[in-house]
Amino acid sequence: MPSHPFIRSSLAIGALCLTNAAQAGNFNVSPTRIQLDKDHRSVLFTITNNSEATLRFEVTTSSWDESEEGVMELSGTDDLVVFPTLLSLPAGGSRRLRVGAVDAPGAEEQSYRIFVTELPAGSMEDTTGIRVLTRIGVPVFVGPSRPAARLEVDEALLHDDQLDVVVANNGSTYAMVREISAVLRDDAGEEIGHASLRGWYVLSGNRRRFVLDLPEGVCAMAASVDLVVDSDRGDWTGEQELSRDACTP
């Protein structure tokens, strides 16, 4: 999963491919993350046509959750209102759209995504070759009345040449994990290897498993790990004891 707060996807012959760019070749969306709260129930965002032709767009909304393994879980929602939902932009043109929350913020943060999808210029029968269309997804957070993120590492598990680090967010608002750093130590406390991984969102009340690749041979010697979880809500640091039971001899 990419570590950026937006998703670009290209649609060709019915296929969907996720990549990690805020700006597609034909258009871009700004800002790349939207925050709503009790004082800002609606905001504006902008779609800009960077191409040399008129482009058509459809704008949709989805509720957004993530599994512990990082699988994005989306479903249709009426909790957000976007206007307009269909629009056309001339070459070099831009349009400001308004997005708003239907309900007042509650005790827990709600997370959504707005998808801006490029539509075909004409019928598919008029297209010669493959016409690649683009979709950009923008996170939308409806903040709680008392926002607070509280990250901690629930567990660290060794298996072969990988380390699973499970990060829990027990707070009321999301956290963006920028990086996880690990220093592996042997029974004597000596450093025997290190690893790092760029992170992703850990939504309010969720757990997220990050898998770090370790240097070859470290698993069988590791006894503990020093961890640093760097996030936009502050850092978590700590030491975890490790079991070598799942390491291949």
- The confidence score (pLDDT) of residue 15 equals 29
Topology match between the domains 7-142 and 151-241:
yes
Model confidence pLDDT, tens digit, residues 88-146: 999 999 999 999 999 888 888 999 999 999 999 764 444 455 667 899 999 999 988 78
Q: Which two tokens stand for residue 96?
A: 């400001």
Output the CATH code of domain 151-241: 2.60.40.10
Strand ranges (E), the chain? 7-12, 15-19, 27-30, 34-36, 42-49, 55-66, 72-76, 80-83, 86-89, 94-101, 110-119, 133-142, 151-159, 162-169, 175-185, 191-198, 201-202, 207-213, 224-231, 234-241
Model confidence pLDDT, tens digit, residues 69-83: 999 999 999 999 999
Q: Which two tokens stand for residue 108?
A: 């827990």
- The confidence score (pLDDT) of residue 131 equals 60
Is the CB of residue 68 less than 8 Å from the CB of residue 164? Answer: no
Determine the topology of domain 7-142 in CATH.
Immunoglobulin-like (2.60.40)
- The confidence score (pLDDT) of residue 248 equals 82
φ/ψ bin of 92: left (φ > 0), alpha (ψ from -120 to 50), beta (otherwise): left
pTM for this prediction: 0.80
Q: How far apart are CA 72 and CA 16, in angstroms?
A: 14
Q: Which residues of the chain have pLDDT under 50?
A: 1-22, 123-127
- The confidence score (pLDDT) of residue 12 equals 33
- Token look-up 């690893």 returns 195
Q: How far apart are CA 56 and CA 122, in angstroms?
A: 10
Q: How far apart are CA 224 and CA 182, in angstroms?
A: 10
Model confidence pLDDT, tens digit, residues 97-111: 999 999 888 888 999
Side-chain-side CA neighbours of 81 within 13 Å: the count stands at 7
Q: How far apart are CA 90 and CA 19, in angstroms?
A: 26
**Domain segments of the chain as ranges:** 7-142, 151-241
